[in-house]
Amino acid sequence: MGFEYSPRVFGVYLGYPEMLGGRIGVMRVGMGVGYLAEDDAGRMIRMRAEFGYDANVDISIVYLRAYLYAGADGAYYFGGSDADKIILELYLKGGVDGGIRALGRRYNIISFYLDANG
């Protein structure tokens, strides 16, 4: 939770920009919301939501992790010069990590990451 206050700015954030999230098995869900009011720029509400898959596999000394997340980050402006403006960003990110475990430590051998925004 975040709070921002000054004579010209007031803001309250709950899980934004880092999301409040939870896991159900290998699935992960997260969400955050924020409200910001400025004297010069008007007011806005921001929201972020994410849904993803994150799984680990350990076979003897080899480990593998695969993950894929899809989400949206948006804002609605009301008042000020940007009144009734909506901004929406969609994203998709994922990757694969793998390696070996020896002497109680993990040694990363392969790592692949993909990130797309639009």
Task: Please state, in angstroms and rounded to a whole number, the distance separating the CA atoms of residues 13 and 86.
Answer: 19
Give the pLDDT score at 80.
Answer: 77
Give the pLDDT score at 106.
Answer: 87
Q: Which residue has the tokens 């804002």?
A: 75
Task: Please state, in angstroms and rounded to a whole number, the distance separating the CA atoms of residues 10 and 101.
Answer: 49
Give the pLDDT score at 36.
Answer: 93
Give the pLDDT score at 118.
Answer: 85
Q: Which long-range contacts (CB under 8 A, 24 or more apart) does 24-28 make?
A: 26/53, 26/54, 26/55, 27/51, 27/52, 27/53, 28/52, 28/53, 28/54, 28/69
> For the chain, how many structural domains are there in total?
1
Whole-model pTM?
A: 0.76
Q: Which domain holds residue 106?
A: 2-117
pLDDT in tens, the chain (118 residues): 899 999 999 999 999 988 999 999 889 999 999 999 998 878 999 999 999 999 999 998 999 999 999 999 999 998 778 788 999 999 999 999 999 999 889 899 999 999 999 8
